[in-house]
Amino acid sequence: MTGLDYLWQALTPLNILLALAGVVAGTVIGSLPGLTATMAVAVLVPITFSMEPASALILMGAIYTGAIYGGAYSAILLNTPGTPSAIATTFDGYPMAKQGDGDLAITLACVSSVVGGLVGAAFLLGLAPPLAEVALAFGPVEYFWLAVFGLTLISALSEGNLLKGLIGACFGLLLACIGVAEISADIRFTFGSQVLLGGIETVSALIGLYCIPVMIDLVATPDRHLKVTQKAKGFRLKEALKISWLGKFNLIRSSVIGTLVGILPGAGGSIAGLVAYSEARRSSKRSDSFGTGEPEGIQATESANNATVGGGFIPTLVLGIPGTPPDAVILGALLIQGVRTGPSLFTENGAIVYTFIFGLILATVLMLPAGLIIGRYAYKSIITIPKALLVPTVAFMTMIGTYAIRNSISDVVIMIVLGVVGWFLNRFGFSPSPIVLGLILGRIAEQGFVQAWTIGAATEDLTGMFFGRPISLVIIAFTLISLFYPLIRKRWSTAGGTANAD
């Protein structure tokens, strides 16, 4: 079969219907705090057992890509990421919504998500085998330094206060240490509680730290949640396309970053979004406006986190190593159907994999009209629903979503406690983002550090293990740049102002 044959196979009425249904279902589920992309794919996996492998992959891939985009809705309208990948979307998305441009922010997120998804799928289509080798080059020490890099990024982006950002990240790292240790299985910081043995669940903490403070503020203030314009502006697609064209280099760069981060197993969209956001801010002429409602920030994060969908499938299909948790679910579904992943997949089962890739491209294209329509009604609903109805509804969704993750009422209690703590920390200028990223990256950093230390001690070359590998040195260099760039930039600005005054 040729490439056109695979394309026509993906464009059958059944596959088009599955792609559209998957995108819509994923977008709706991803927009609800607590109902992650992994959960969306896992819940619907049994439906695919009776399907052909290619159709099953198209449905699961469509759900996955829709859920990643859907997380932008609550990030923009409620300042609560629907998925961890949308954390950085809150930085500029919610300020835009508060300024009355929530509809534009949602449309811009949709366009950026489509671009990022297409770039990720294009890499998957054309460069999957060689890019998979990059993932193999990453060992435990590289993952440790990558986690440290992610922590310095989010700290540097903490509303201009580096010290508070670092403190918040350290608090997140402490939360990640609660429960059974990743490698040694030591029990830490449980204080005799059986509830804390499983640690702090990441999505529960995310919901609590982001959503609970917003609900408290909604109850405490008489003003409307979002600014309401006198005249509805509709999709605002023309404005979003113009902004996207002007920021095309930012879109492409962020999409490539998202793809490259996506091929690293365990990295995920949260790191990709932060790296892309940091790079967009560093290279932008309007870097000072980031965090106050800058469209370039939304472009960077949404294109990057959707590019991780295609990027994550590269190690999943070529190496049999899941790039992200949803990829692990999809990999399991493939194994049940008798499809073995690995380097020979593209030759022995080329019809399945190439039909799926074209189906993923189709789902990404369908995400534009579906996302615009769903986003328009989501925006209208949020700005018109009275607070007396909005707050209980959001509170109900957060509790149901938190409980559904592990069927544990204890997670709901932890979510509420962390939410109250987050509200108090917000009063003193501490952003929730460093805390959440510390929790997410803490486990990755700990596992990578302990494994690298063990290998280095066994080979009697600890220094070489941590500082002698080329990829590690590159990541360390980027980490130092990210950490000290705000200070250097501030000093340059001060020196420039003094020179102008003279």
Q: Convert the pLDDT of each residue in 348-383 to its tens digit.
A: 777 888 888 898 899 999 999 988 888 877 777 776
- Spatial separation of the C-alpha atoms in residues 255 and 37, rounded to whole Å: 19
* Residue-level pLDDT at 494: 65
* Residue-level pLDDT at 496: 58
In a domain, 500, yes or no: no
Is pLDDT above 90 for 409?
no
Q: Using 50, 70 and 90 to split pLDDT, how confident is the model at 275? A: confident
* Residue-level pLDDT at 108: 92
* Residue-level pLDDT at 2: 58
- Spatial separation of the C-alpha atoms in residues 184 and 92, rounded to whole Å: 40
In a domain, 253, yes or no: yes
Distances, alpha carbon 250 to alpha carbons 200, 299, 478, in Å: 35, 7, 19
CB of 4 within 8 A of CB of 52?
no
- Spatial separation of the C-alpha atoms in residues 75 and 91, rounded to whole Å: 9
- Spatial separation of the C-alpha atoms in residues 69 and 366, rounded to whole Å: 12
* Residue-level pLDDT at 17: 92
Q: Average of pLDDT values for 98-127?
A: 88
The Cβ of residue 191 has, within 10 Å, a number of other Cβ atoms equal to 6
* Residue-level pLDDT at 119: 93
* Residue-level pLDDT at 489: 65
Q: Tell me the two tokens of residue 297.
A: 């920030």
Helices (H) and strands (E) in the chain, counts: 21, 2
CB of 483 within 8 A of CB of 169?
no
- Spatial separation of the C-alpha atoms in residues 238 and 107, rounded to whole Å: 10
- Spatial separation of the C-alpha atoms in residues 332 and 135, rounded to whole Å: 20
Which H or E run contains 447? helix 432-458
Q: Tell me the two tokens of residue 274.
A: 């932060």
| More confident site: 64 or 157 | 64
In a domain, 169, yes or no: yes
- Spatial separation of the C-alpha atoms in residues 24 and 26, rounded to whole Å: 6
Q: Convert the pLDDT of each residue in 157-194 to its tens digit.
A: 655 577 787 888 888 888 888 888 777 777 888 887 78
Q: Using 50, 70 and 90 to split pLDDT, how confident is the model at 343? A: low
In a domain, 62, yes or no: yes
Is pLDDT above 90 for 49?
no
| More confident site: 365 or 484 | 365
Residue 166 three-state SS: helix
* Residue-level pLDDT at 156: 57
**292 DSSP 8-state letter:** S
* Residue-level pLDDT at 20: 92
In a domain, 481, yes or no: yes
Burial of 394 (0-12, 13-18, 19+ CB in 10 A): buried
Tell me which residue range forms the domain holding 356. 4-493
* Residue-level pLDDT at 266: 62
Highest mean pLDDT among 76-80, 242-246, 485-489, 494-498: 242-246
Q: Say how many Å lie between the first and final Cα of the chain, rounded.
A: 72
State what percent of residues in the chain have pLDDT above 90.
Answer: 9
- Spatial separation of the C-alpha atoms in residues 320 and 343, rounded to whole Å: 9
Distances, alpha carbon 352 to alpha carbons 3, 48, 341, 453, 498, in Å: 12, 14, 11, 42, 64
Q: Using 50, 70 and 90 to split pLDDT, how confident is the model at 113? A: very high
CB of 144 within 8 A of CB of 452?
yes
Q: At what angle do helices 3-10 and 350-384 cross, to 10 degrees?
A: 40
| More confident site: 443 or 302 | 302
- Spatial separation of the C-alpha atoms in residues 74 and 488, rounded to whole Å: 35
Q: Using 50, 70 and 90 to split pLDDT, how confident is the model at 91? A: confident
In a domain, 338, yes or no: yes
* Residue-level pLDDT at 71: 84
Is pLDDT above 60 for 101?
yes
The Cβ of residue 467 has, within 10 Å, a number of other Cβ atoms equal to 12
- Spatial separation of the C-alpha atoms in residues 329 and 60, rounded to whole Å: 9
Residue 360 three-state SS: helix
Residue 136 three-state SS: helix
Q: Using 50, 70 and 90 to split pLDDT, how confident is the model at 155? A: low
Cα dihedral value 153, 155, 158, 164, nearest 10: -170
Which H or E run contains 148? helix 140-156
Residue 117 three-state SS: helix
| More confident site: 383 or 141 | 141
CB of 401 within 8 A of CB of 74?
no
In a domain, 222, yes or no: yes
The Cβ of residue 438 has, within 10 Å, a number of other Cβ atoms equal to 27
Q: Using 50, 70 and 90 to split pLDDT, how confident is the model at 253? A: very high
Is pLDDT above 90 for 114?
yes
Is pLDDT above 70 for 456?
yes
Backbone angles phi, psi at 291, to 5 degrees: 95, -5
Q: Average of pLDDT values for 282-299?
A: 84
Name every residue whose Cβ is closer than 8 Å to that of residue 123 and which is 6 or more positions away in sequence: 131, 259, 307, 310, 311, 314
Scan for tokens 């409620």, then name that residue: 78
Backbone angles phi, psi at 285, to 5 degrees: -75, -15
In a domain, 499, yes or no: no
**Residues facing residue 179 across a β-bridge:** 188
Domain count, the chain: 1
Q: Using 50, 70 and 90 to split pLDDT, how confident is the model at 267? A: low
CB of 81 within 8 A of CB of 87?
yes
Q: Tell me the two tokens of residue 493.
A: 């600005």
Which of 30-34, 42-46, 230-234, 342-346 is predicted with the least confidence, judged by mean pLDDT? 230-234
Residue 31 three-state SS: coil
Q: Using 50, 70 and 90 to split pLDDT, how confident is the model at 198? A: confident
Average pLDDT of the chain, as a whole number: 80
